[in-house]
Amino acid sequence: MARQPTCGSTSLSDLVLVGIAVSLAMDAFAVAVACSVSLGRVRPRQAFRLSFHFGLFQAIMPLIGWMAGRTVAEAIAAYDHWLVFALLGFVGVRAIRSAMSDEGGSGKPARDPTRGFSLVGLSVATSLDALAVGLSLSFLHVHIFTAVAVIGAVAALATLLGMTVGSRLGLRYGRVAEVTGGVVLILIGLRIVLSHVGIW
């Protein structure tokens, strides 16, 4: 006999799952554009690092939410948007300062956001929304490992696409593009805060 959904559960269609994955990947795409703009010429290793970590964190967060249920999501819900704003703002300010400090046009490379704390911070910031999605998935009749695989893969692909777009802008517009990338990161964080308080 086939296993039946638990009482009150709802099946999740493949189309809906892809829609959720694409929605979650939009911030990853925007942040990838901003990061690659600041780098200018993106090396394959940098593209791999950012897309791998964004995809990995986007897959891990809903799994954590699914396993932890309400406890973790409710504990972090009161301030998760401020954490995202702080992380994105920190990396954005660093990018702007890096661009402005190169006043002589020495060609000094921008700080690499695909390394160290910046990489971890951006990975967390772009994937916190997926934690709440994981909580929602725990109430649905869904194969969680299939869901997190799709979410992670879509995020990784969106990141690669964003880096391709951003690197072309960075090569063309140089320091202005780097400053713009930092401002975009800060604005993404601000949008998330405003959306949580019902303004945006």
- What global pTM score does this model have? 0.70
Run of H or E residues at 4 = none
Mean pLDDT score of the chain: 77
Helices H / strands E in the chain, number of each = 7, 0
Token representation of residue 43: 């090396």
For residue 24, the model assigns a pLDDT of 85
Pick from 160, 62, 181, 27: nearest CA to 111: 181
Pick from 115, 61, 108: nearest CA to 91: 115
- Residue 1 per-residue DSSP state: -
- Cα–Cα distance measured from residue 151 to residue 57, given in angstroms and rounded to the nearest whole number: 10
pLDDT tens digits, one per residue of 68-125: 765 655 666 667 778 778 877 877 787 777 667 754 344 444 578 888 888 999 999 8
Using 70 as the pLDDT threshold, list the residues of the chain that sit under it: 1-13, 69-78, 98-99, 102-110, 139-141, 170-175, 177-178, 181, 200
For residue 35, the model assigns a pLDDT of 85
Dihedral (C-alpha) 186, 192, 195, 199: value to the nearest 10 degrees? Answer: -20
